[in-house]
Structure 1
Amino acid sequence: MLLHIPQVLTADEVAEFRRRMDGADWTDGRETVGHQGAKVKNNEQLPDGSPLKAELGGAVLKALKRSPLFFAGALPRKILPPRFNRYSGGGEYGYHVDGAVMSIGGDEHLRSDVSCTLFLNDPDEYEGGRLIISDTYGEHVVAKPAGDAIIYPSSSLHRVEPVTRGARIASFFWIQSLVRDDSQRRTLFELDTSIQKLTLDGADEDALLQLTCVYHNLLRRWSET
Structure 2
Amino acid sequence: MQIKLMMLHIPEILSKQQVADLRQQLDSSQAWVQGQHSAGFQAQKIKNNLQIDPNSIAYQSFSAKILQALQHNILLKSAALPKHILPPLFNCYQDQGHYGNHVDNAVQYSSSIGQAIRTDVSITVFLSEPDEYAGGELIVEDNYGSHEVKLDAGDAILYPATSLHRVEAVTQGKRIAACTWIQSMVKDDWQRSMLFNLDMNIIKLRQQIGDNEEILGLTSHYHNLLRQWGDL
Q: Does TM-score exceed 0.5, indicating one fold?
A: yes
| Number of positions where the alignment pairs a residue of Structure 1 with one of Structure 2 | 225
Match of 1:123 in 2: 130
Identity of aligned residues (%): 48
Which of 114, 120, 128 is the equivalent residue of 1:113?
120
In structure 2, what is the Cα distance between the partners aligned to 1:204 and 1:60? Answer: 35
SS in 1 for 2:186: coil
The match for 1:66 among 63, 72, 83 is 72
Q: Secondary structure at the match of 1:168?
A: strand
Q: What whole-Å deviation, never above 9, does each CA across 1:6-55 have from its counterpart, x for those lacking one?
A: 00001110000001011112100000011000010000000010122111
1:19 aligns with 2:24: yes
User: Mapping of 1:1-225 within 5 angstroms?
Assistant: 1-25=6-30, 26-105=32-111, 107-202=114-209, 205-225=212-232
Q: How far apart are the structure 2 equivalents of 1:66 and 1:222?
A: 23
Q: Partners in 2 of 1:187 and 1:53 — Cα distance?
A: 36
Q: Separation in 1 of the partners of 2:62 and 2:134?
A: 25
Q: Which amino acid aligns with 1:127?
A: A
User: For structure 1, which runs of at least 5 residues remain unmatched after alignment?
Assistant: none
DSSP 3-state at the match of 1:35: coil
- CA–CA separation in structure 2 for the residues paired with 1:21 and 1:204: 46
Q: Distance in 2 between matches of 1:107 and 1:173?
A: 17
Structure 2 Cα separation of the partners of residues 151 and 175 of structure 1: 10
Aligned counterparts of 1:147 and 1:127: Cα–Cα separation in 2: 18
SS in 2 for 1:207: helix
CA displacement at 1:65 relative to structure 2 = 3.0
